[in-house]
Amino acid sequence: MKITKSELLRRIEALEEWSSGADEMLTELNHALPDPEYDAKCEAQEADIDASLDRHRERLGLNKPKLKQLDQSVFDGQDEKWRFAAVDADGSARAYNYNQMPIGGNHEPHPDQSEKGFEAYEFIGTGYDASNWQNSIIERESKELTGSDLCRAMLERGDKYVLCFVSDFSDDHAVNQSKMINLVTHTKGNSIFAKSARWKYAVPINQQTGEPLTASEVGL
């Protein structure tokens, strides 16, 4: 079959059109498929741009310090007596041993708690978000009593004595290394007293199994 010149040109144009469409589809497909190397390059460029903008903001004095948020981490390393924390109107945070109420930009003890041994606050730091300082007070999350803390709690509730592993080094030493057993009768300050001696650490144990007791097992 003889093909005319015009027919040949028409077929060539159709092939070129198909080829162009195939190239476009291939390009779109390449963009749709994951490209970790390209993504990593884009992320690096974005980080460089952010760093450059930060430098310019710093140079122009436009950077504002990021305000800290009051959360449970403020109690880390704090004495157990500090049960509450709050932010004052100036962005300073303090810990308290009793609940507080906002008064004139600061926090003060509730009137019904003023006679319950309120102590001076423990200063935590500055730079906290004070946008809602009147409602900023948080209460320390309670944790299950263990070891010497459990022993003290048992004596404070009225137990006449507590069978314990005792040590002068740590609760862990008392259980795993000392294994010396005493009947603990009372505490004073940081000392724990048995009938025959004074110790720094005392871990309550089950008298049948010799295993350390938990707070739930003794009703605390």
Q: What is the pTM of this model?
A: 0.43
DSSP designation for 2: P
C-alpha torsion 17→21→27→30, nearest 10: -140
Q: How many CB atoms lie within 10 A of CB 149?
A: 16
Report pLDDT for 128: 94
Q: What is the mean pLDDT of residues 4-15?
A: 71
* Cα-based distances in Å from 7 to 16, 19, 20, 21: 14, 18, 20, 21
Report pLDDT for 105: 66
Residue 92: pLDDT band (50, 70, 90) is very high
Report pLDDT for 69: 93
End-to-end C-alpha distance for the chain, whole angstroms: 101
In single-letter form, the type of residue at position 134 comes to Q
Give residue-wise pLDDT tens across range 102-157.
766 677 765 555 444 555 688 999 999 999 988 998 988 877 888 888 998 898 88
Q: Which of 15, 33, 59 is the last residue of a domain?
A: 59
The answer to whether residue 21 sits within a structural domain is yes
Report pLDDT for 32: 64
Q: Are residues 55 and 28 in the same domain?
A: yes
Q: Are residues 38 and 93 in the same domain?
A: no
Report pLDDT for 87: 93
Give residue-wise pLDDT tens across range 152-188.
889 888 899 899 999 989 899 999 887 788 888 887 7
Give residue-wise pLDDT tens across range 30-64.
666 667 787 788 788 888 887 877 777 777 776 77
Interatomic CA distance for residues 85 and 88, integer angstroms: 10
In single-letter form, the type of residue at position 64 comes to K
Structure tokens at 66: 């990021």
Q: Which domain holds residue 54?
A: 5-59
The answer to whether residue 171 sits within a structural domain is yes
Report pLDDT for 195: 73
Report pLDDT for 220: 79
Give residue-wise pLDDT tens across range 186-219.
877 777 887 768 888 899 999 889 899 998 898 8
Q: Are residues 125 and 80 in the same domain?
A: yes
The answer to whether residue 64 sits within a structural domain is no
The answer to whether residue 20 sits within a structural domain is yes
Report pLDDT for 144: 80
Report pLDDT for 112: 53
Contact assessment for residue 91 and residue 127, using Cβ atoms and an 8 Å cutoff: yes
Report pLDDT for 212: 92
Q: Which has more pLDDT, 72 or 52?
A: 72
Number of domains the chain is built from? 3
Report pLDDT for 103: 66
The answer to whether residue 154 sits within a structural domain is yes
